[in-house]
Amino acid sequence: MSKDGFEQRLILIISNMIGKKFCKQVHITFAQLDGKEICIIHIEKSKQPAFLKENSRTIFYLRTGNLTNPLTTKEAVEYLQSN
């Protein structure tokens, strides 16, 4: 797969699973590291919550430090009301 095709696939996945409006906050670059090409994804912080669409479920994850935890509906409502 070409870099262009790889980048298109990533954006398509983000668009389908999180939402088209968040794609503009995703910046993809490629670099060489130890003779191998790597993909670097930089994502700008969103001013609004993003929900993951997984099959028929919508899930809200909270990133704290290096941990990512799914929240229950109650926890997500409480978190969103406090911010």
pLDDT tens-place string over residues 8-48: 999 999 999 999 999 999 999 999 999 999 999 999 988 88
Q: What is residue 21's DSSP assignment?
A: G
Strand 52-54 relative to strand 36-43: parallel, antiparallel, unpaired?
unpaired
Q: Are 59 and 42 in contact (CB under 8 A)?
A: no
Mean pLDDT of the chain: 91
Q: What percent of the chain has pLDDT over 90?
A: 52
pLDDT, position 14? 93
Res 83: pLDDT:
74
Chain mean position to CA 23? 9
What pTM does this model have?
A: 0.74
Q: What's the chain's Rg over C-alpha atoms?
A: 15
Contacts of 28-31 with CB under 8 Å at 24 or more apart are 30/3
Residues counted in the chain:
83
